[in-house]
Amino acid sequence: MTNLVGHISPETAYVVADYPYGYRLRCTIRYWIEYKPGFGCRLVSQTTNPNRAGLVWNKPKAGTYCKFGAAMYLDEAGHVVSRGLSEYCDAAEAAKFLENWGAGVPAEAQETLKRFVAAKVAYEANRQSGDALSVGLVEARAAFLKDA
């Protein structure tokens, strides 16, 4: 799997030149990760319209926001796939996401991603099975605010 880094706008998008458009036509598609403050990151794709003369781009199609980061990569078949990180993951998933896909997260979202992962790890490290949900919040907050 190849991590795709730096594709954050239509101008810097990852472009696939030969993409199916319906049953018989072929087009060009481009992918990028969009970041919006307060919402997070999401995958956006946009195809060209082979029925129109010249290079005419269709309306972009955007995925669901992932609050703490998203990245895209090429799978074994060479297809573009995206991964996202939301508040519903556990500490192990968050740490693995940062390790494997963190470089592909847009620069604007990097600090929030790192702080979230640190807080998630600290929260779970300070809890025991059966503890109230409030146990570990002080440590998680301290980890999130460290170096702020």
For the chain, the structural domain boundaries read 2-145
Contact yes or no for 63/54 (Cβ under 8 A): no
- Separation CA 141–CA 37 (nearest Å): 21
Q: What is the C-alpha end-to-end distance of the chain, expressed in Å?
A: 34
Q: What is the CA radius of gyration of the chain?
A: 19
Three-state helix/strand/coil letters over 27-60: EEEEEEEEEECCCEEEEEEEEECCCCCCCCECCC
Query: pLDDT digit of tens for each residue in the chain (148 aa)?
Result: 788 999 999 999 999 999 999 999 999 999 999 999 999 999 999 999 999 998 999 999 999 999 999 999 999 998 999 999 988 999 999 999 999 999 999 999 999 999 999 999 998 888 888 878 887 888 888 888 886 5
